[in-house]
Chains A and B, each alone.
Chain A
């Protein structure tokens, strides 16, 4: 059953064609990876799907519903969560507040001007739970900007998870991480894949081949190939453009 579908998505930035008739299909429960060289259009694809900017032409469908052109905050409420290639947190706020912002976004808390945010029981508890999960519980009152790079990545993941998305879009979640941290993150992603659909952008080929159900290869904005890890590895075009011809 298809959870996310794009139909002939094209995105032009002036004269630059970043996406060229990209059609992908992400089935429910799948771990679907997008790979391709730098500039292939992977992050642009994410941006269009999550509503950061609209496509020049084409459609995005989520659960059968046309979501093309919706604003990011609307798409978030449909159950799509997304992380960014460059760590995207709230540096001057505490670690707890970072996650709580995400947990309190569901529910009608936000226009409450009177309550103390620390009195919001459910969002605060959920935030602590998530911090526990990623191992940042002890640093809850630290300012997020004071965390190490690896810790900030974990915080980023915690924030993305906090909105409990059905479709989790991860943009290079292991970028900048050490081998040990990478392994840990991949484990976490594998766990998450058990009850969620994941769309993953990754550069580490061994990670992608190991963890994905389906891989789509983008090259210069076009879909070069799509298939299982084995099929992709054998694909001559992909080898030429991306993996390097043997």
Chain B
């Protein structure tokens, strides 16, 4: 089997395994709603991985856009009882506009300055939500209690239904990002990560590329937020907090920022662990912290990279056995 054929087969096997995983997930976890949460946070992790793993931008502001999407959807549901898909579309649009404005301001600087600016804007959004009590409910949250029907006979109330509804969007986002990474646009993003100066000297308007990636990430986060608003039937202010941004960073690093699959791996581990562990021990975050440090120290590429290393070792082992037999 030629190298190229093997690569294509490997890719397809991976995708098939991934699809199977996504289909059995709601049945494999303690309760289906948890699987929905994994998908939503998985989407956030994917955006973080896009920006850090592929463009080289460290972003502390995931929560801000997640919250803008969620609150937009929550308010649209509460005051207008809006049709679900229209509401999601508008929420994404609103989040995208914010991402354009905030991205433009943050990207004026690179590196650590960019990271801190995103954190600053994240906090700003948090405080706007906190202070604008009349609109958002402040720290009590937005209790809209609505999870609308997709169509007259398609209720999303059963958790398993809502999971598959969310799955459609997750798969769409994943596929879009996968295509993007392998596209000319994606190769320029990676070039920016590798050597920004050279990329600009080659004739690429690097600022525009970075802003586009940032806005795309923002849009996806808004989408995740709108789904979350319906998942919980409530929007709490904690989703706008830097802690939420931090959780996304932890799960992405644990899963591995080198690959999109790392996002889903990280989200799965983090969400399941936090659900199971928090019931067992109130200091469960300590365990998460230890696991996180261990992964970063010993498998810097994250769990996904670790799985790849394991896979290669096993293949090498079977190859060696084959040729020596």
Which residues of chain A are near B187, meaning CB under 8 Å?
Answer: 93, 97, 100-101, 104, 117
CB distance from A167 to the nearest CB of B (A): 13
With A90-B191, A90-B195, A110-B188 given, is the CB distance from A72 to B183 under 8 Å? no
A13 near B: Cβ within 8 Å?
no
Interface residues on A, range: 35 or more
| A73-105 interface code vs B (CB 8 A; 1 in, 0 out) | 100110000101000111111000100111011
- The answer to whether B202 touches A105, judged by C-beta atoms less than 8 angstroms apart, is yes
| B101-127 interface code vs A (CB 8 A; 1 in, 0 out) | 000000000000000000000000000
| B195-213 interface code vs A (CB 8 A; 1 in, 0 out) | 1011111111110010010
- The answer to whether A106 touches B203, judged by C-beta atoms less than 8 angstroms apart, is yes
- The answer to whether B202 touches A117, judged by C-beta atoms less than 8 angstroms apart, is no
- Interfacial residues of chain A within 104-146, with CB under 8 A of chain B in the complex: 104-106, 109-118, 120
- The answer to whether B182 touches A91, judged by C-beta atoms less than 8 angstroms apart, is no
Which residues of chain A are near B11, meaning CB under 8 Å?
Answer: none
A92–B257 CA distance with the chains assembled, in angstroms: 14
A73–B187 CA distance with the chains assembled, in angstroms: 17
A217 near B: Cβ within 8 Å?
no
A117–B180 CA distance with the chains assembled, in angstroms: 10
- How many inter-chain contacts with C-beta < 8 Å in the A-B complex? 90
With A89-B198, A105-B204 given, is the CB distance from A116 to B182 under 8 Å? yes
- The answer to whether B183 touches A73, judged by C-beta atoms less than 8 angstroms apart, is no
A236–B204 CA distance with the chains assembled, in angstroms: 45
- The answer to whether A110 touches B194, judged by C-beta atoms less than 8 angstroms apart, is no
- The answer to whether A88 touches B198, judged by C-beta atoms less than 8 angstroms apart, is yes
Query: Which listed residue (A92, A112, A163) contacts B184, Cβ 8 A?
Result: A112
A50 near B: Cβ within 8 Å?
yes
Query: Which listed residue (B176, B186, B202, B209) contacts A163, Cβ 8 A?
Result: B202
CB distance from B214 to the nearest CB of A (A): 15
A185–B202 CA distance with the chains assembled, in angstroms: 21
With A73-B205, A77-B203, A159-B202 given, is the CB distance from A112 to B197 under 8 Å? no
B83 near A: Cβ within 8 Å?
no
Residue of B nearest to A169 (CB): B201
Which residues of chain A are near B161, meaning CB under 8 Å?
Answer: none
Which residues of chain A are near B78, meaning CB under 8 Å?
Answer: none
A52 near B: Cβ within 8 Å?
yes
- The answer to whether B182 touches A73, judged by C-beta atoms less than 8 angstroms apart, is no
With A52-B197, A92-B190 given, is the CB distance from A112 to B202 under 8 Å? no
A170–B268 CA distance with the chains assembled, in angstroms: 50
- The answer to whether B200 touches A110, judged by C-beta atoms less than 8 angstroms apart, is no
CB distance from A164 to the nearest CB of B (A): 11
A218–B183 CA distance with the chains assembled, in angstroms: 44
CB distance from A143 to the nearest CB of B (A): 11
A149 near B: Cβ within 8 Å?
no
- The answer to whether B200 touches A71, judged by C-beta atoms less than 8 angstroms apart, is yes
Residue of A nearest to B177 (CB): A113
- The answer to whether B185 touches A110, judged by C-beta atoms less than 8 angstroms apart, is yes
- The answer to whether B185 touches A88, judged by C-beta atoms less than 8 angstroms apart, is no
CB distance from A88 to the nearest CB of B (A): 5
A105–B205 CA distance with the chains assembled, in angstroms: 10
| A50-62 interface code vs B (CB 8 A; 1 in, 0 out) | 1010000000000
- The answer to whether A112 touches B194, judged by C-beta atoms less than 8 angstroms apart, is no
CB distance from B322 to the nearest CB of A (A): 24
B179 near A: Cβ within 8 Å?
yes
- The answer to whether A89 touches B179, judged by C-beta atoms less than 8 angstroms apart, is no
Which residues of chain B are near A93, meaning CB under 8 Å?
Answer: 187, 190-191, 194
- The answer to whether B198 touches A90, judged by C-beta atoms less than 8 angstroms apart, is yes
Which residues of chain A are near B186, meaning CB under 8 Å?
Answer: 113, 117
- The answer to whether B184 touches A91, judged by C-beta atoms less than 8 angstroms apart, is no
Query: Which listed residue (B190, B194, B201, B206) contacts A82, Cβ 8 A?
Result: B201
Most chain A C-beta atoms within 10 Å of own C-beta, residue among B186, B191, B197:
B191
6 A–B pairs (Cβ distance < 8 Å), ordered by A: A72-B200, A88-B197, A89-B198, A113-B183, A117-B182, A117-B183
**Contacts beyond the supplied A84-B198, A101-B202, A117-B186: 9 A-B pairs with Cβ under 8 Å:** A73-B200, A90-B194, A91-B195, A93-B190, A93-B191, A102-B202, A116-B182, A117-B183, A118-B182
8 closest Cβ contacts across the A-B interface? A76-B203, A90-B194, A105-B203, A109-B184, A88-B198, A72-B200, A117-B187, A117-B184
